[in-house]
Amino acid sequence: MFKNEKPAYGPAEVRTFAEQAKHVACANFAFAAELDGQKPPDACDKGGPGPAKTKKELLLYLRLNGIIPPASRENPPALRGTY
């Protein structure tokens, strides 16, 4: 609950950061499955089928397809140019 207050609309529960990360990851898997004509994972609205709760488990769940963001790689690429 968010300060024990019921909002005027929407759910009273607030997702933790970990639950939100799982929700986004599961949604990405669901979108990709739909594009491939496959069935999306079950319960994406509840965090998906994975039991990941710790930071390490969540990182593995987001990287199931083997893609690691450049900034998280062992030797990240050097920045080029200025913004």
Q: What is the percentage of the chain residues whose pLDDT exceeds 70?
A: 77
**The predicted structure's pLDDT at residue 35:** 86
Tell me the pTM: 0.55
- Token pair of 12 as six digits: 């009273």
- Mean pLDDT over 40-48 rounds to 77
Q: Kindly state the percentage of the chain with pLDDT values over 90.
A: 0
Task: Name the residue ranges covered by the structural domains of the chain.
Answer: 17-65
State the pLDDT at residue 40. Answer: 83
Measured N-to-C along each axis, helices 17-35 and 55-62 cross at an angle, to the nearest 10 degrees, of 20
Whose tokens are 């140019």? That residue is 81
